Chain A
Amino acid sequence: MKELKFLIAIWKTNLQSAMEYRGAFLTQVIGMIANNFIYFAIWIIFFNRFKDVRGWGINDMYVTFGVLASAFGLVSLLFGNAFTLSDIIAKGRLDYYLSLPRPVLLHTVASRTIASGMGDFIYGFISYGMSGYFTWDGLARFVLAMLLAATVFAAFLILTQSLAFWFGMMTNFSNLVLNAMLTFGIYPITLFDSYAKLILFTIIPAALMGAIPAEFIRAFTWTTLGQLLLGAIGFLSLAIFIFNTGLRRYESGSAIQIEV
């Protein structure tokens, strides 16, 4: 409870500083919504011509992209530093958070808000609304699935970026797996054979951020809910474990040659 109060205080300050640049805040939010619409148009063109990809149609795309966008947006808003954690570790900027009496990981990742995330978050709901699968209990499932997908995504970011404890600066690697995660999450899952699918549930858990939540939103099944819960809890615990293990190796800024 105490931590929640603390988190809310951080988020409030983040929001304030984001609004400091009013024009920037508004253009980022609106711009991101427009950006997503334009991007999605390409899938409309695609499915207009080719109808479906092994049973995966445009409606499925709406739901998948919707839940992925909202989950991505939520993480950007609430845990913006998860995207640059490896930089923070490698440049020794964790010192600041370590010197404060709060849970280090939580404090670090919650300390930045990416304003455009608001646009993604809102867009996701619109996309779901346009999918033709909209129902009120579907919306409840959308929210639940989105929260679980966001957990997986945040955990995935923390997990991969924490490797910086062992390997130092790895901005390129982080970007690479992040892009892979998002791209694989959006593309129709029916494209992939079983080996590729195995990867999408484990090393790059894109299926847990796109296709599985989408399936759960369209129709409730215990299997998909189980997969999502298991994935969220599993990845989160793994991420926390890896981060804490890495933290013991943390060398602070002093031991690392900073190349600025």
Chain B
Amino acid sequence: MKTFSKYWSIFQITLINSLAYPGELVGRSLMIIPFMWIFYQLWKVTFSAAGADGGMISGLTLRDTLWYLMLAETIELGRPPIARTMSESVKDGSIAYILNKPYDFLLYQFSTAMGETIFRAMLNAVFGGLTVWWLVGAPNHPEGFLIALPAILGAWVLHFCINAMIGLSAFVVEDVSAFTWIYQKFSFIFGGMLIPLDFYPQWLQTIAKFLPFSSAIYGPSRLFVTPTAEFFISVMTLQLAWIFVLVFLLIVAYRRGLTQLTVNGG
């Protein structure tokens, strides 16, 4: 119980801390507006060129597509740059100062990451949601948001695991930014951040849907526009499986990194 409240306090203090500069917080979230606008232009033209004005492409209407992309962007833009923060603390040695307190390093990092995520994501959802609402109208399944919520949280856990591993790789390589770009691009392409995976050729869809990137972007976003019980179960099962694997890998990576640190300093 005490252990849990420890990390809960860390989460809380980061949450409060993220409100220190509200202007900054809001300003950052405005980014989603031009993104949603340009997605709208692209898909409006594409739907009409495909002769699907008011109709569907691979089971999605223009409205579904836009709301899908809104949630995908919300998840993506809400996540803090964990890999960068961690690799910086590895490189400048400040990781050492986190280690001399009685808490688990990974849980500490996770608590702070979640604290930074919540308000960012909320504001992204608000601005992105208002833009999309104005462009294509209300979502078909507003209740889908609640159903997608566990998957959104799971998506952040996945994101944390991958990013933390990238951050910890700073023990071995000098610079991790290349990995973060490539990871971001993989979530872009295999997570379906510009094009819903449903529009992909079948073989690519099959591959993409099994990779962890789809559990972090496509799963929750698609669940939002199609909130069926059946789909919920399949998304969550796959996601939990990936969480299980990645948490395991992260712990292994952390143990290794720690040995490296204690041998060669910060």
Contacts and interface: CB of A to CB of B under 8 A. Distances in A.
Given A46-B194, A172-B24, A173-B27, A27 B181 contact: no
A53 interface: yes
Interface in B10-59: 24, 27-28, 30-31, 34-35, 38, 41-42, 45-46, 49-50
Contacts of B177: 28, 31, 116
Contact of B204 (A34, A45, A179): A45
A49 B181 contact: no
- The B interface is mostly helix, strand or loop, or mixed, namely helix
B173 A31 contact: no
Interface stretch (B148-156, B195-203, B228-236, B253-261): B195-203
Interface in A160-200: 171-173, 175-176, 179-180, 183-184, 187-188, 190-192, 196
A54 B49 contact: yes
B200 A191 contact: no
Contacts of A183: 34-35, 38
A136 interface: no
Given A49-B201, A53-B46, A28 B175 contact: yes
13 contacts: A23-B173, A23-B174, A23-B175, A27-B174, A28-B177, A31-B181, A32-B178, A35-B185, A42-B194, A46-B194, A172-B24, A184-B34, A187-B38
Q: Which of B42, B175, B188, B199 has the most CB of A within 10 A?
A: B175
A48 interface: yes
B1 interface: no
A186 to B, nearest CB: 10
B189 interface: yes
Give the size range of A's interface with the partner.
Answer: 35 or more
Given A42-B189, A184-B34, 20 more contacts: A23-B173, A31-B178, A31-B182, A32-B178, A32-B181, A34-B178, A35-B178, A38-B182, A38-B185, A38-B189, A39-B188, A42-B188, A49-B200, A50-B49, A116-B177, A175-B31, A176-B34, A191-B42, A191-B45, A196-B41
Nearest to A49: B199
B186 interface: yes
Interface in A113-150: 116
A176 B195 contact: no
Contacts of B174: 21-24, 27
Nearest to B40: A191
Interface in A190-237: 190-192, 196
Contacts of A116: 177-178
A176 B199 contact: no
B210 interface: no
A45 B181 contact: no
A41 interface: yes
